[in-house]
Amino acid sequence: MFKHFIFIIIALSFFFTQLAGAQIASTGFEEENNIYEKVYDAKLNLNNGDNRTLTQLCASKPVILALIFTRCSGICNPFLVQLKENLQFKTDTDNFSVLVLSFDPRDTREDMVNLSKSLNLENNKQWLFATTGDIEKLNLSVGFNPVWDSIRSQYDHDALLVGINKEGYITKKLIGIRNKSDLELLIRSVNDVFSPSYRLPNKNRLFSCFNYNPETGKNTPGLGLLFLTLPAVITLLLLLGISYTVRHKRILI
Amino acid sequence: METIKLRKITSLWIITVLFLFIVNIVLGIIMRLNQGEILHEQPATFYAHMTTHGLTQIGIWFVAGMTGINYLMERYLKTSYLANVVAMVLTVTGILMLWTSTYIGNFHAGWTFLYPLPLKIMWAKWATPLFLGSILVMGVGWLTWSVSMMTQILKKYPLTKALAWQHFRKNPTIQTPPFILISMITLIGIITCLLGAVLLLAMYAAEYFSNGAFVNDALLMKNLTYFFGHTIANEMLYLGLAVIYELFPEVGGRPKWKATWYVALAWNCTLVFILTAFFHHLYMDFVQPVGFQIVGQIASYMASLPAAGVTVFSVLVAVYRTSIKWSLTNLLFFIGVAGWVIGGLGAVIDVTITNNFVLHNTLWVPAHFHTYNALGNVLFSLAFFHWFSIQFSEKTDFEKLTKLKLTLLLIGGIGFLLAFYIGGAESMPRRYSNYPAEFPMAAPLAIGAAVFATIYLAAILIFFFQISKRCLNILFSSSSH
Ligand code: HEM
């Protein structure tokens, strides 16, 4: 009887180990970094002539921050056009502002004014365009890492939107050109409304309950689930071990 | 038979538990007065009270149950005095560490310390390891105690007999006393959830000391937290029930209850299902697959309903149209079972997924668990404390103030709990230091609750003085009488 128990447990353990696997290393998405950390309080040169800091700006209204540079020949323009399109039919525009901030030190206030004109947004109160002298510290605080490519004379960078709430905390990040419902979640999060989100892969997180595969969109059981069964398995082994030991001792006596 | 040493340590446990309970009720009243805007504390102070109150209550009522079964188990087999002492030393050390972390270090992440709160330091940096260390110290003490008791049971009863499996066959030759069955089932559950706590703490330590090289999975941490937290909070109730099965018929002058196939089945169900019932704490975690949520609901029913069914049946059969000797011990057991059932029904309502959409994290949650604790498990242990203390007393006026004590307990307890239930039914959130303006009734309800809790406290104070006086006599007496 006892041997059968042990056999079944070992067989089951092997079976479950087969089902579970460690999370595969990061795919480069870093949307979950820096969440709920304070954004760096950069001094801004706004296109309307104001000189406010980022936290002062957020204090009046939560901010959706778009990081771009005006000489970009790649993603920046389609990224901003898409953002504008996604927001243009929104009626409740009072609960956040969009801050388009250049991360290129060569950009001037004039460049940003021109950018706002080219997008037809120069008179739109919800949209602000700015440069800052503190861009490195700000980049660090939001986990944005543009790399200068001297051959193309361009920055290699992500299209990043950062949601910052009134208290200056980063509530959510979106990387890449995203659809309306993702944007909606970002807006909810800056207004401190619950927004469900999935965990993204992280190479330092070894024991997930489920591993999400962004390519197939499926969840598979992870090592974490095995961990969850561990206390019960150890107890069972302990129980059988003690039961076996005391019985044998009794027989020997 | 029990030794004098066991008597003395049991007395010490009782005095310690009752003393800490009084301090803890005061913390509860302070929290309600703050929610009622009579006191104006910083939110961090409120949450420090809530953390201290929650974990200390769980701790003391767990050890109260263990004290009861350890003492009564000596009727059947020899238990380890050393394990009992180790548990006592580590519990007291753990409680001191806990209170230092919350009141000097200002740790205030709640007794469930949900990940990643303890690692988001908003208090003294040392308070997080001290708080987690306090759980480890207490956990090791309780694990030692439980494993030792389980070993002693297995020395006398083979595993299958300890679990009363022979009752599934016709005419079993050997009887397993229900007390042994329930104690065994409960000890197994306790050991499992304490091992879960050890794993949880190890995961926290790994992240805390790895400087970002290792990150935990929030879903795994939440699952582990409730695997430990929910399970221990339920198992401690079962310890109280084991005491009832042993003492209720005895003090009422009735024959001892026997294990039957349905008693064995109900408690074996509890053993299996209680370990997966905690999934109901994750209903709102949409990343948890739906299958787990369904398991959570079914397991919650299966863990509680059969055991409640057979216990209530046994108690009712014992008192219905029979000449039972009513005493304070019996009455406390009887009212306690009623409180347990009412609180249990509140829990079953909450655990049903469709209802949980409305009741999740509202005051309904503290409403139901305070019912089966403050008017359930606490009464089981008070009954044992009272019964134990009068065993060795030469006086005979044990039933003094019985009516007064029970009236205060009931009026205070019901009033205090009703405020939680009404709040829950009105969707008032739990764990708010101050209620938002959207709930104009929340503050008046909290004040009312504080008044009723004070009445409940008055009853506990009388119990404390009477029982502690007798226990002190046992503690300092040199005779074996
Ligand atoms: C008359 C006695 C008691 C009073 C006045 C009291 C009061 C309170 C209050 C005001 C809260 C916070 C509720 C909220 O807003 O969420 C609370 C939470 C709690 N209480 Fe009690 N309580 C009492 C008895 C008990 C007992 C007997 C237990 C036994 C286990 C207990 C365990 C807890 C736990 C576990 C929490 C949750 C803490 C957390 O959320 O971290 N209480 N109590």
- Best of A170, A228, A236, A251 to disrupt the B interface (most B CBs within 10 Å) is A228
Question: Is ipTM > 0.85 here?
Answer: yes
pLDDT given for residue A34 in this prediction: 87
Q: Can you give the CATH number for the domain in which B210 is found?
A: 1.20.210.10
B29 touches ligand 1 (CB under 6 Å): yes
| Domains of chain B: total | 1
| Rounded distance between C-alpha atoms, residue B186 and residue B190, angstroms | 6
- When CB atoms are compared, the residue of A198, A227, A250 closest to B220 is A227
Ligand 1 atom at minimal distance to the Cα of residue B460: 1
Q: Is the pLDDT of residue A131 over 60?
A: yes
Residues of A within 8 A of B147 (CB-CB) are 238, 242
Q: Is the pLDDT of residue A25 over 50?
A: no
Q: Is the pLDDT of residue A7 over 70?
A: no
Q: Is the pLDDT of residue A113 over 50?
A: yes
pTM score: 0.80
| Rounded distance between C-alpha atoms, residue B348 and residue A106, angstroms | 64
Residues of B within 8 A of A192 (CB-CB) are none
More reliable by pLDDT, A249 or B302:
B302
- When CB atoms are compared, the residue of B193, B199, B287 closest to A227 is B199
**Percent of chain B with pLDDT strictly greater than 90:** 84
Q: Is residue B481 part of a domain?
A: no
Q: Is A175 helix (H, G, I), strand (E, B) or coil?
A: strand
Tell me which of A92-101, A135-144, B86-95 is least confident: A92-101
Residues 6+ away with beta carbon under 8 Å from A104: A69, A70, A71, A155
Nearest CA to ligand 1 atom 20: B54
pLDDT given for residue A94 in this prediction: 80
Residues B343-400: pLDDT tens digits?
Answer: 999 999 999 988 998 999 999 999 999 999 999 999 999 999 999 999 988 777 778 8
Q: Is the pLDDT of residue A26 over 50?
A: no
Strands (DSSP E) contained in A94-209 are 97-102, 127-132, 147-149, 154-156, 160-164, 170-175
- What angle, rounded to 10 degrees, do the helices at A76-88 and A180-190 form? 80
Residues A54-63: pLDDT tens digits?
Answer: 999 999 999 9
B431 touches ligand 1 (CB under 6 Å): yes
Q: Average the pLDDT over A78-97 and give the result.
A: 87
CB contact under 8 A, A208 and B151: no
Q: Which residue has the tokens 């149950």?
A: B65
CB contact under 8 A, A209 and B216: no
* Alpha carbon of A211: minimum distance to chain B alpha carbons (Å): 10
Looking at domain A29-199, its CATH superfamily turns out to be Glutaredoxin (3.40.30.10)
- Looking at residue A26, the DSSP 8-state letter turns out to be P
pLDDT given for residue A28 in this prediction: 43
- When CB atoms are compared, the residue of B150, B213, B220 closest to A208 is B220
For B215, nearest residue in chain A (alpha carbons): A205
Residues of A within 8 A of B227 (CB-CB) are 228, 231
Q: In a 10 Å sphere around its CB, with 0-12 CB exposed, 13-18 middle and 19+ buried, how is residue B401 labelled? A: middle
Evaluate whether B280 touches B236 at the Cβ level (below 8 Å). no
> And the tokens for B384?
């044992």
Residues B193-226: pLDDT tens digits?
Answer: 999 999 999 999 999 999 888 999 999 999 999 9
Q: Is the pLDDT of residue B428 over 90?
A: yes
Ligand 1 site-directed mutation target among B18, B20, B50, most atoms within 8 Å of CB: B50
Nearest CA to ligand 1 atom 11: B28
Residues of A within 8 A of B154 (CB-CB) are 239, 242-243, 246-247
Residues A190-232: pLDDT tens digits?
Answer: 998 877 666 666 777 788 888 877 677 677 888 899 999 999 9
Distance in Å, CA B365 to ligand 1 centroid: 10
Ligand 1 atom at minimal distance to the Cα of residue B457: 1
pLDDT given for residue A21 in this prediction: 46
pLDDT given for residue B94 in this prediction: 98
| Rounded distance between C-alpha atoms, residue B26 and residue B152, angstroms | 38
B456 touches ligand 1 (CB under 6 Å): yes
Taking all residues of chain A, what is their mean pLDDT, rounded to a whole number?
Answer: 85
* All CATH 3.40.30.10 domain ranges in chain A, comma separated: 29-199
Evaluate whether B156 touches B149 at the Cβ level (below 8 Å). no
Distance in Å, CA B292 to ligand 1 centroid: 28
- When CB atoms are compared, the residue of B150, B217, B275 closest to A208 is B217
CB contact under 8 A, A204 and B199: no
Taking the Cβ of residue B155 and every Cβ of chain A, the question of whether any pair is shorter than 8 Å is answered with yes
More reliable by pLDDT, B160 or A19:
B160
Kindly provide the b/e burial profile for residues B314-328, where b requires at least 16 CB atoms within 10 angstroms of the residue's own CB: bbeebbeeeebeebb
> Which one-letter amino acid corresponds to residue A163?
G
CB contact under 8 A, B155 and A208: no
pLDDT given for residue B244 in this prediction: 96
Q: Is the pLDDT of residue A3 over 70?
A: no
Nearest CA to ligand 1 atom 19: B54
Taking all residues of chain B, what is their mean pLDDT, rounded to a whole number?
Answer: 94
Q: Is the pLDDT of residue A8 over 90?
A: no
pLDDT given for residue B377 in this prediction: 97
For B223, nearest residue in chain A (alpha carbons): A228
More reliable by pLDDT, B45 or A210:
B45
B residues 174-193 closer than 8 Å to A (CB):
188, 191-193
Q: Is residue B95 part of a domain?
A: yes
More reliable by pLDDT, A18 or B66:
B66
The torsion of the CA quartet B252, B256, B262, B263, rounded to 10 degrees, works out to 80
The pLDDT confidence band at residue A22, using thresholds 50, 70 and 90, is very low
- When CB atoms are compared, the residue of A219, A222, A235 closest to B195 is A235
Ligand 1 atom at minimal distance to the Cα of residue B456: 1
Question: What is the domain range of residue B341?
Answer: 4-476
> How many Cβ contacts (< 8 angstroms) between chains A and B?
81
B225 touches ligand 1 (CB under 6 Å): no
- Best of A19, A30, A32, A243 to disrupt the B interface (most B CBs within 10 Å) is A243
The pLDDT confidence band at residue B320, using thresholds 50, 70 and 90, is confident
- CA end-to-end span of chain B: 13
CA atoms within 13 A on the CB side of B312: 14
Evaluate whether B21 touches B460 at the Cβ level (below 8 Å). yes
* Alpha carbon of A55: minimum distance to chain B alpha carbons (Å): 21
Evaluate whether B338 touches B412 at the Cβ level (below 8 Å). no
Tell me which of A213-217, B129-133, B420-424 is least confident: A213-217
CB contact under 8 A, B216 and A205: yes
- Looking at residue A159, the DSSP 8-state letter turns out to be -
Residues A150-175: pLDDT tens digits?
Answer: 998 999 999 999 999 999 999 999 99
In chain B, what's the furthest Cα-to-Cα distance? 68
Q: Average the pLDDT over A44-49 and give the result.
A: 92
- CA end-to-end span of chain A: 22
Residues of B within 8 A of A230 (CB-CB) are 195, 199
